[in-house]
Amino acid sequence: MPTPIATSESDAPVSSPRRKPFYASLWVQVLIAMALAIALGYFSPARAVAMKPLGDAFIRLITMIITILIFCTVVTGIAGMQDLKKVGRVGGKALFYFEIVSTIALIIGLIVGNVIRPGDGFNVNTASLDAKAVADYAGQAKAQGVTEFLMHIIPTTVTDAFAKGDILQVVFVSILFGFALSLAEGRGQPIVTLLASLTQVVFRVVNIVMLFAPLGAFGAMAFTIGKYGFASLGPLVKLIATFWVTSILFVLIVLGAIAALAGFSIVKFLLHIKEEILLVLATSSSETALPTLMEKLEKLGCSRSLVGLVVPTGYTFNTDGSSLYMTLAALFVAQATNTHLTLLQQLTIFAVATLTSKGASGVQGASFIALVATLSVVPTIPVAGMALILGIDRFMSMFRALVNMIGNGVATLVVARWENELDRETLQQKLA
C-alpha cells in the first residue's frame, strides 16, 4: 500500500524533537569537571589550589542573585494569593515539619556516635593540639537564645537585609511587602506585574550563570583536593566514612519514607535534581543549588508562593545535614579526648544543638562555628579538640550541604502535598 501523502500542514508527520547529546547535559559536564579536578588535585596540588578563584567566583555569582530571586518570588506569590490565610498555614506546616525532621537527624547523630564510636582509640592529649586554629571560630561562635534569634530576623534597615545576604531577613521583608501589595488590591497591581516580569528576567540570569557551573565545580573541587588531599584524611577516615554513610542512609531511609508517604520516590527525585547534587558536592555549599532547585520544584507543580516560602526558610530551619554532623562530631571530639559524657550532658548537647544548628546551612564553615558554640556549653569537652576535625571539615561539609539541600526539596514537596497542590500520579509522571 502506498504511503499516504500529507494534504495539509496539519496532516504532515510531526518529527520528534532531536535529543541533545549526553555530553551537552549540565550534570555530565559537572561530573567530568569534578573528575578532572580530582586528577589535577592529586597530580599537581599547587596548580589545583590556584583554581580556587573559579569556584569562589561561581559561588559569588549565585549568591549575588539569590536575595533578589527570593524577594521577587515571595512577593509575587503572596500578592497573587486569593487566600492570605494560606501564607500562615503554609509557614506553620513548614516549621512543624522542619522541627520534627531536624530533631530526628540530631537523635540519629547521637545514636550513631554512641554505637560506632568513631573517636575511640585516638587518646589525644589536648595540650598537644593547636588551640589557635580553633580560636577564630570560637570568637565567631556566640551562644544565641530564642530572643536573640527572633530579633536577628528583623533587619536594621530593608536594604541591610539584601546587603548582608541574610536569607531569613530577606524572607521576612518579602512577606511584609507581599502582604502589603495584596491588601492594596488594584493599586498594587502595577508593582506586582513589574516584579513578575523581573522574576522571569532573574531566572534567565540564573540560566546564564549555570553555564559556568562546570568551571565553578572544577575550581572548587580542585582546590579541595589540592589543598587538603586524600592523605590529610588519615586516621579520620572512620569519622568521614561514618558521616557519609549516615547521611546517605538518612536520605534513602528517613527522607525516603517521608517521600513515600507523600506519594513519590526519593530515588526518582534524586535523579531529577542530579545537577544540583553534583554542584553542592563540588562547592560544599547548598546555596549554589538554591535558584535552580526552586525552579525545578515549581515545574513539578508546587506554587511559586509555596516554593518561595518553604525553600528559603528551610535553609535556616531545616538543616538535616548540619544536625547529623553536630551531634556526631561532638561525640567524636569527646571520645577522641577520652572525655566521658553522662546521659544528661549528651541531652544538653542535643538541646543546645536544636538552636545552634539553625542557620548553619549555605555558608561554608557555619556548621563548624555552630558546633564550637555547642561544645562550649559542656565545659568538660575541650573545644581545642575541634582542631582534630578542622582539616577535614571541607570533606564533611560536602555531605552536610547535600543533605540540607535534598531535605529542603523533599520538605517543599511534602508541604505542597499537604496543601493539595500536587496530584500523586501527576507528580510521579513528572519525576519519571
Range of the domain at 310: 22-431
What pLDDT shows up at residue 129? 61
Is residue 16 in a domain? no
Residue with cell 593547636: 130
Condensed to tens digits (0 to 9), the pLDDT of residues 234-263 reads: 778 889 999 999 999 999 999 999 999 998
Of 3-7, 217-221, 233-237, 384-388, which one has max mean pLDDT?
Answer: 217-221
Condensed to tens digits (0 to 9), the pLDDT of residues 279-297 reads: 999 888 888 888 899 989 9
What pLDDT shows up at residue 16? 47
Is residue 249 in a domain? yes
* Cα–Cα–Cα angle for 340, 343, 348, rounded to 5 degrees: 100
Sign of the C-alpha dihedral computed for residues 351, 356, 359 and 363 taken in this order: negative
The grid coordinates listed for 252 are 534513602
The grid coordinates listed for 238 are 572512620
We report the CATH number of the domain holding residue 316 as 1.10.3860.10
Is residue 17 in a domain? no
Q: Is 93 exposed, middle or buried, given 0-12, 13-18 or 19+ CB atoms closer than 10 A?
A: middle
Neighbours of 16 (CB within 10 A): 6
Is residue 14 in a domain? no
Is residue 97 in a domain? yes
The predicted model scores a pTM of: 0.82
Is residue 406 in a domain? yes
Is residue 181 in a domain? yes
Q: How many domains does the chain have?
A: 1
Average pLDDT, stretch 352-373? 67
Q: 286: which DSSP letter? A: G
For 307-332, b/e burial (b = at least 16 CB within 10 A) is bbbbbbbbbbbbbbbbbbbbbbbbbb
Is residue 302 in a domain? yes
